[in-house]
């Protein structure tokens, strides 16, 4: 009896130690190097929260690959680390394994935008838009929660938003406008209203219709309960004449500041000061937020309108 108990306890102890070792390694990055004397050294570095989240999502998917949410989060966590090709690979797997789920097309379309594959983004997001017709909209959980930990976007809204953006980046303003109208109609949350209205206004100014541009600003008013899209809200207030020019300056280098600077540069562009617009867009590209929509839009406009300079 004592002998058997000792063996059982030994196995339990080993299992516990192995489990603890796996947990420790999971929270670390290991680097192994061999020197000239064939001596091996192992160094560890603690994972960042984003890397840990990626590892956890990967583990969750590998344990239960039949759950579509696990594959979606695996892809999202990969994208948050800048692993866009990996994210696209995972979403492509999801499209094949869960063909009736529009979320994989929605997320793959977003990452096609990140990798400047705009035509593929339009194809994915257009198909996703067809798939959600007549379905109930749902709130999309945040991967990077805001300060109030309240998700502000929805599946339908994100599909139409990114489709509108993809069309805008190819300078197809008519189709971009149609998509952003559907985006604004998808939800009444203030963050959705200001983000879609910002693009609707810019599109109409690009199309040369000042009256229609002014009309789309109708829902914008003081005191909106904004949780995330403060840059878009300020820009809409500026377009409406409620804020002065110096309130929408911003500095490049983050998604929100790039959004502000792109909107300001665009304002100079459609008001005739193209050199000022170019200067501001060049400043955005000098920053590091290469996947921000302001950065990508500035990059697209510079390529189209200033390619020969």
Dump pLDDT digits (tens) for 159-194: 999 999 999 999 999 999 999 999 999 999 999 999
| Two tokens, residue 48 | 């960042």
| Two tokens, residue 156 | 């339908």
3-state helix, strand, coil in the chain (%, to 5): 65, 5, 30
d(CA 273, CA 105): 38
d(CA 56, CA 143): 13
The pLDDT of 124-142, averaged and rounded, is 97
Residue indicated by tokens 């909209």:
137
Task: Give residue 251's pLDDT.
Answer: 81
Q: Where are the domains of the chain?
A: 43-133, 249-309
Q: Within a 10 A sphere around the Cβ of 140, how many other Cβ atoms? A: 19
Do 43-133 and 249-309 fold alike per CATH?
A: no
The pLDDT of 1-26, averaged and rounded, is 46
Task: Give residue 151's pLDDT.
Answer: 94
Taking only the tens place, the pLDDT of each residue in 50-78 is 999 999 999 999 999 999 999 999 999 99
Q: Quickly state the pLDDT bin for 43 (edges 50, 70, 90).
A: low
Residue 103 pLDDT exceeds 80: yes
Residue 273 pLDDT exceeds 90: yes
Contacts of residue 183, Cβ cutoff 8 Å, sequence gap at least 6: 157, 160, 161, 164, 192, 195, 196
8 A C-beta contact, residue 265 and residue 291 = no
The CATH architecture that domain 249-309 belongs to is Up-down Bundle (1.20)
For the 43-133 domain, the top CATH level (class) is mainly alpha
- At what angle are helices 103-114 and 293-305 packed, to 10 degrees? 50
Higher pLDDT among residues 15 and 54, named by residue: 54
How far is CA 267 from each of CA 177, 272, 276, 286, rounded to the nearest angstrom?
17, 9, 10, 20
d(CA 244, CA 40): 63
Least confident of 34-43, 220-229, 230-239: 34-43
8 A C-beta contact, residue 127 and residue 133 = no
Higher pLDDT among residues 245 and 6, named by residue: 245
């Amino acid at each position: 009896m004592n002998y058997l108990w000792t063996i059982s306890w030994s196995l339990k102890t080993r299992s516990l130690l192995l489990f603890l070792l796996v947990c420790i390694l999971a929270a670390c990055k290991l680097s192994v190097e061999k020197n000239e004397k064939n001596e091996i050294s192992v160094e560890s570095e603690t994972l960042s929260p984003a890397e840990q989240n990626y590892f956890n999502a990967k583990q969750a998917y590998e344990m239960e690959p039949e759950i579509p949410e696990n594959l979606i989060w695996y892809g999202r966590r990969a994208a948050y680390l800048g692993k866009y090709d990996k994210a696209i690979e995972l979403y492509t797997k999801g499209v094949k394994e869960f063909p009736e789920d529009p979320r994989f097309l929605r997320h793959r379309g977003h990452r096609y935008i990140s990798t400047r594959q705009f035509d593929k983004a339009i194809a994915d997001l257009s198909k996703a838009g067809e798939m959600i017709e007549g379905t109930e909209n749902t709130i999309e959980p945040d991967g990077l929660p805001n300060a109030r930990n309240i998700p502000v976007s929805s599946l339908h809204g994100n599909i139409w938003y990114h489709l509108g953006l993809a069309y805008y980046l190819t300078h197809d303003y008519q189709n971009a406008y149609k998509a952003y109208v559907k985006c604004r109609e998808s939800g009444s949350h203030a963050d959705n209203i200001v983000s879609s209205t910002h693009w609707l206004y810019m599109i109409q100014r690009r199309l040369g219709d000042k009256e229609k541009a002014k009309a789309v600003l109708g829902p914008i008013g003081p005191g909106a309960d904004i949780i995330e899209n403060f840059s878009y809200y300020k820009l809409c207030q500026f377009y409406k004449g409620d804020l002065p020019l110096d309130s929408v300056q911003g500095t490049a280098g983050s998604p929100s500041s790039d959004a502000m600077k792109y909107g300001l540069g665009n304002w100079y562009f459609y008001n005739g000061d193209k050199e000022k617009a170019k200067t501001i867009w060049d400043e955005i590209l000098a920053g590091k937020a290469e996947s921000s929509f302001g950065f990508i839009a500035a990059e697209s406009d510079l390529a189209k309108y200033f390619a020969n300079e």
